[in-house]
Amino acid sequence: MGERIVLVQGRGNNREGTDEEYDVIILGTGLKECILSGVLSVEGKKVLHMDRNGYYGGECASLNLNQLFEKFRTGTAPPASLGASRDYNVDLIPKFLMSCGVLVQILVKTDVTRYLEFKAVDGSFVVHGSTVYKVPSTSGEALKSSLMGLLEKRRCGKFLEFVGDFDEADAKTWKGIDPKKATASEVFKHYGLSADTIDFIGHAMALYDNDRYLTENAVETIKRIRLYGESVLRYGNSPYIYPLYGLGEMPQGFARLSAIYGGTYMLNKPLDEIVYNESGVAIGVKSEGETAKAKFVVGDPSYFPDKVQHVGKVASAICILSHPIPNTNNAESAQIIIPQKELKRQYDVYISCVSAAHQVAPKGKWIALVSTIATTDKPEQELEAGIRLLGPVDETFYHVRDMYQPKEDGRKDQVFITKSYDPETHFETTCLDILDVYKRITGKDMDLTPPKKDGGKEESEQ
């Protein structure tokens, strides 16, 4: 395991603390905020990073068993049958990393990989007709899959070959249809794919959580499917990797990066108010009677209740199991997607599962997290189909959280707010928000070019 960062409670890095001037003040130590802190620090910005909590990670925190019971069942001690509290690192947000995705590019670019260790996720699955199937991601896997009949396998294989060869800049690779003009639905129809095949490709490979993408330009869908396939080929059974000891390790890695470049960190630091000038532009924050000045302020939605709008709720269930999820080939870790049509609802249901293989639970225990966008006031019912796939469950912790997004882009008042985390079991949409906030702050795209190895070659592996 990579070295952990130790944070000072209240004042960080032995500096004067809040009574200073900074380039940026960042509020909240969730993954998004920590990535922005690390990247901006590397680029020479003087960063003050504060969190009202005494722990690290915000909504991305990983909890031990005692903390989990304290959060969801205050005053109740965990049963001894679950094992030692210290052996658990339970994520509140269910996310895997696409092995060729944007977050891995950021990790490689910033060299934060030196503080973290990852392990591939065993499998990616999709539910069809109440049965769990391995997601085919190549033409070869499509021909072997029991998810489709023989003719459909061949059509799907042809489509995946097209995706693998696709080059947006080379019309010769478009195979008779212009994806820049066609919708995703029209491209699928061009290859004669059935509604069921389209459903699993769109939701389990392109990772859309509803069907709006079908009427939109096809290029983005093709890129998403290609990313899925390339990520599978990188490590084997699934496109996903996951950090040892849980997602809580990742904010720590970026915080350490920021600290190396002079960033100041403070936990247990309450926010009194955001300080604005007479023009309504943020010029700092006040905490415990002290004011720290900055050129701009960044933070998660919880720090700016008057500047965000409510956009929905995420319902999730954290489940402790004593066995792998049935029908996943005894996987130590897995992702399962139940497409919306299977449940006749508006959004997909996601399941992520990890175990002792990733150092997040004692030997013989698995942690499954079922999540979806809640559309009723009965979240337990909305998660029932996912929980049913898990088999016997030792303990279940239900959690409903609100999703917010900023009302403005932040350029006018120099307050840049991240979005709440969605229920999806991957980080791609999360990274789009990080890149968007970075561009709003700096006016440029984040440079994700891999660093040069000795000898001038680019780094391609973490």
Residue 79 and residue 96 share a domain: yes
pLDDT at 338 over 90: yes
pLDDT at 457 over 80: no
Question: What are the structure tokens assigned to 22, written together?
Answer: 């900074």
> Quick one: pLDDT band at residue 11, thresholds 50, 70, 90?
very low
State residue 462's pLDDT score.
Answer: 40
> Quick one: pLDDT band at residue 9, thresholds 50, 70, 90?
very low
Segment of 131-145, 158-172, 394-408, 448-462 carrying the highest mean pLDDT: 394-408
Residue 231 and residue 105 share a domain: no
Residue 167 and residue 92 share a domain: no
Residue 424 and residue 372 share a domain: no
Cα–Cα distance measured from residue 430 to residue 207, given in angstroms and rounded to the nearest whole number: 13
Residue 409 and residue 278 share a domain: yes
Cα–Cα distance measured from residue 22 to residue 43, given in angstroms and rounded to the nearest whole number: 14
Nearest to 107 by CA among 177, 157, 35: 35
Give the containing element (helix H, strand E) for 324: none
Any domain includes 9: no
Query: Which of 26-30, 109-113, 360-364, 402-406 is least confident?
Result: 109-113
Which distant-in-sequence residues (6+ apart) come within 8 Å of 455 by Cβ?
none
Query: Which of 56-60, 345-349, 362-366, 375-379 is least confident?
Result: 56-60
Residue 416 and residue 299 share a domain: yes
Query: Which of 139-148, 159-168, 280-289 is least confident?
Result: 139-148
Any domain includes 269: yes
Residue 270 and residue 260 share a domain: yes
State residue 210's pLDDT score.
Answer: 87
pLDDT at 458 over 90: no
Residue 78 and residue 202 share a domain: no
Nearest to 89 by CA among 122, 61, 56: 61
CATH for 160: 1.10.405.10
Domain, as residue range, for 102: 62-122+310-403
Q: Does 57 or 221 have the greater pLDDT score?
A: 221
Residue 411 and residue 291 share a domain: yes
- Last residue of one domain, picked from the residues 235, 266, 299: 235
Residue 231 and residue 140 share a domain: yes
pLDDT at 346 over 70: yes
pLDDT at 10 over 80: no
- Last residue of one domain, picked from the residues 349, 375, 403: 403
State residue 456's pLDDT score.
Answer: 47
The pLDDT of 355-372, averaged and rounded, is 96
- Compute how many other C-beta atoms are within 10 angstroms of the C-beta atom of residue 268: 14
Provide the H-helix boundaries in 3-64. 31-42
Any domain includes 130: no
The pLDDT of 353-365, averaged and rounded, is 96
Residue 153 and residue 89 share a domain: no
> Quick one: pLDDT band at residue 139, thresholds 50, 70, 90?
low
- Last residue of one domain, picked from the residues 235, 258, 276: 235
pLDDT at 4 over 60: no
State residue 461's pLDDT score.
Answer: 43
The pLDDT mean for the chain works out to 89
> Quick one: pLDDT band at residue 1, thresholds 50, 70, 90?
very low
**69-73 long-range Cβ contacts below 8 angstroms, 24+ apart:** 71/397, 72/318, 72/397, 72/398, 72/399, 73/397
* 3-class state of residue 402 by DSSP: strand
State residue 200's pLDDT score.
Answer: 86
**Tens digits of residue pLDDT in 62-107:** 999 999 999 999 999 999 999 999 999 999 987 899 999 999 999 9
CATH for 272: 3.50.50.60
